[in-house]
Amino acid sequence: MSAQTLYDKIWDAHAVGTRADGQTMLYIDLQLLHEVTSPQAFAGLALHGRGLWRVAANLATPDHNVPTENRELGLAGIEDAVAKQQVVTLDDNCRRYGITQFDILDPRQGIVHVVGPEQGATQPGMTIVCGDSHTSTHGAFAALAQGIGTSDVEHVMATQCLVQSKAENMRVAVDGALTEGVYAKDLILAIIGAIGTAGATGHTIEYMGSGVLELSMEARMTLCNMSIEAGARAGLVAVDDTTLEYLHGRPRAPQGELWDLAHDYWLTLHSDDDAEFASGFQIDAATLIPQVTWGTSPELVVGIDSATPNPDDAPDPAQGQSLQLALDYMGLAADQPMVEIGLDRIFIGSCTNARIEDLRAAANVVRGRKVAKRIKQALVVPGSGLVKAQAEAEGLADVFLEAGFEWRAAGCSMCLAMNPDRLQPEERCASTSNRNFEGRQGHGGRTHLVSPVMAAAAAIQGRFVDVRSLL
C-alpha cells in the first residue's frame, strides 16, 4: 500500500462503502450531544419511528445554555424559558433512549469538548461527531472529529454513518518550542493570522513537528479546537507517549488486555514518512510572542508589541475598507498600540481554554494581585465540573476570588452568550474563547481573543499588557 497520512488511515478504517450518489458512508464511533442542536434530531427520529443505531455510541451533557450561577438549583436555576426547555428536552430524550448523560447536577457535566477527553471517551483512531463546530478539539487524540448540522446529527443517530466526500490533506509543521509566557493559543492564533480563516478550507489539518510533540494534551486540544477558525474540516495530532499517558486510567478508556490491544493499534496512528499532503504551512514556535486579535475575525490578529493596522496601507481598497469596518465595530483607531487598549470585562473559559492547565497558568499570573478597578467583571468559568473541583482542591479558585474574579460553574457561558453571561453594547472583553465575530459575546460587544495568561494579565492591568513582564 502506498504511504498514507493519519487522516487517510482513519478514513479508510471507517469507510463502510459508497452510496449511489457517490459519497462515502463513514462509520461513526462516538457522537457527543448537547441541548441546542439535538432536540430537532430526536424529534425527527420520533417522527419517522426510527431508533438509535447504537445507543452506546452517544454521550450527552448540557453546556451551551446552562447558567453558571446557582447551579445547585439545577433546572430551577434556569430563568430563560427556552433554554430550560432545551435542557429538559435533553434530559427526556436521554432517558427515553437510554443515552448516558452528565446532567446539569452531575459533577461530570461540562462543555462537551472538555468532557469527552476528560472521561477518556475520546480515543485515538475514533471517528467523532457533534452538532457543534468545535468538535475539532478531539483531533488532539488522533481522532477524526467533525462538527455537523442537525440533519446530520439525526442521520448519525439513525445510521451510525456520516455521508460525505473526503477532504484534502494539509500539513502544518511547527518547529521549535514555545517560550515562557507563550501558549498553544498564541500558536493557533498566529497560524490563523498567517493562513487566514479560509486557509484550510476543504482540508483536514495535521499538526506535526517538534513544536507539537512538546505540547501537553491540553495544549494540543487548544490547537485543534481552532482548526475550524482556519476553515479546516478537522485538525489532527499523531499519537505519542503524551497521548497514551493522558488516556491511561480514564473512566471510559480501555483497561487490561483491551488497553494493550488498543495501545498497539494507537501507535500506528501517525502519517507515514513519505505520505503526501496537498498543501502545507510551516511556523517557528520559538520566535512567537503573545497574540491578541484586534478585529472581528480570528485572522485579524497581531503580536502584543504591535498596533492595529492602518487601512490606508492595505494592498487594495476593498481590503482597506474591510479593515476599516472591523476597526469601526471594535471602536479602535488605525495604528493604535495593543497595549493602549483598555478593557471592561475578562472571560477565562470556553472549550478552547478552560481546562486545568489553563486555570493554573492564569492563576499564576493573578496570585497576590488584584483585578484593576476599571474592569466591571472578570469571570472564570471552568470547562467542566471536574475541572472546577480540581481547581478548588488546588486552591486556584481562592486565588481568583481573592483577586476579585468571579468563580462560576461549568458551561459555555460568555463564549457565545446564550446564557445570561454576556457583554453590553460597546463593552470590550479580553476572552480566551475562539470567536470574535460581531455580537458573538452579546449584541454590540467587542471581543479580543487571547491566551488565559494574557486575559489574566489584562484583568490585573485593566488594559492589554505583555504577560511576560508580569512573570
DSSP 427: -
What distance in Å separates the CA atoms of residue 359 and residue 340, rounded to the nearest whole number? 26
69, 75, 77, 85: which one binds other proteins (CB under 8 A)? 85
Per CB under 6 A, which of residues 7..66 are in contact with ligand SF4?
63-64
Quick check: 276 and 170 in contact, CB under 8 A?
A: no
Q: Which is nearer to ligand SF4, 132 or 427 (CB)?
A: 132
> Does residue 128 belong to the site contacting ligand SF4 (CB under 6 A)?
no
What distance in Å separates the CA atoms of residue 192 and residue 132, rounded to the nearest whole number? 20
Q: Name residue 143's amino acid.
A: A
Lookup result for grid cell 450527552: 60
- Please choose, from the candidates 458, 456, 454, the residue with its C-alpha nearest in 3D space to the C-alpha of residue 341: 458
Cell numbers for 168, please give them. Answer: 484534502
4, 204, 350, 377: which one binds ligand SF4 (CB under 6 A)? 350
What distance in Å separates the CA atoms of residue 411 and residue 62, rounded to the nearest whole number? 8
> Does residue 53 belong to the site contacting other proteins (CB under 8 A)?
yes
Tell me the closest approach of the beta carbon of residue 354 to ligand SF4, in angstroms: 7
Dihedral in degrees, nearest 10, Cα atoms 453, 34, 104, 363: -10
Beta strands (DSSP E) in 56-196 are: 58-60, 100-101, 127-130, 144-147, 161-164, 168-175
- Please choose, from the candidates 452, 304, 440, the residue with its C-alpha nearest in 3D space to the C-alpha of residue 378: 452
Q: Which is nearer to ligand SF4, 285 or 415 (CB)?
A: 415
- Choices 131-139, 152-160, 280-288, 361-369; region in contact with other proteins by CB under 8 A: 152-160
Per CB under 6 A, which of residues 195..224 are in contact with ligand SF4?
none
Q: Which is nearer to other proteins, 39 or 452 (CB)?
A: 39
75, 97, 163, 369: which one binds other proteins (CB under 8 A)? 163
Report how far Cα 264 is from the mean position of its chain's Cα atoms: 28
> Does residue 250 belong to the site contacting other proteins (CB under 8 A)?
no
16, 198, 333, 471: which one binds other proteins (CB under 8 A)? 16
Q: Which is nearer to other proteins, 125 or 298 (CB)?
A: 125
252, 360, 369, 376: which one binds other proteins (CB under 8 A)? 252
- Choices 10-18, 115-123, 199-207, 409-417; region in contact with ligand SF4 by CB under 6 A: 409-417
Quick check: 317 and 324 in contact, CB under 8 A?
A: no
Q: Which residues contact 397 (CB under 8 A, 6 or more apart)?
A: 388, 391, 407
Q: Which is nearer to ligand SF4, 358 or 466 (CB)?
A: 358
> Does residue 138 belong to the site contacting ligand SF4 (CB under 6 A)?
no
Tell me the closest approach of the beta carbon of residue 349 to ligand SF4, in angstroms: 7
**Would strands 127-130 and 30-33 be described as parallel, antiparallel, or unpaired?**
parallel
The total number of residues written for the chain in this structure: 471
Long-range CB contacts for residues 76-79, cutoff 8 Å, separation at least 24: 79/420
Q: Could you list the residues that contact ligand SF4 (CB under 6 A)? A: 63-64, 111, 113, 132, 134, 350-351, 412, 415-416, 433-434
Q: Could you list the residues that contact other proteins (CB under 8 A)? A: 13-14, 16-17, 19-21, 25, 27, 29, 39-40, 43-44, 47-48, 50, 53-54, 56, 82, 85-86, 89, 100, 121, 123, 125-126, 149-151, 154-155, 158-161, 163, 252, 254, 258-259, 261-262, 265
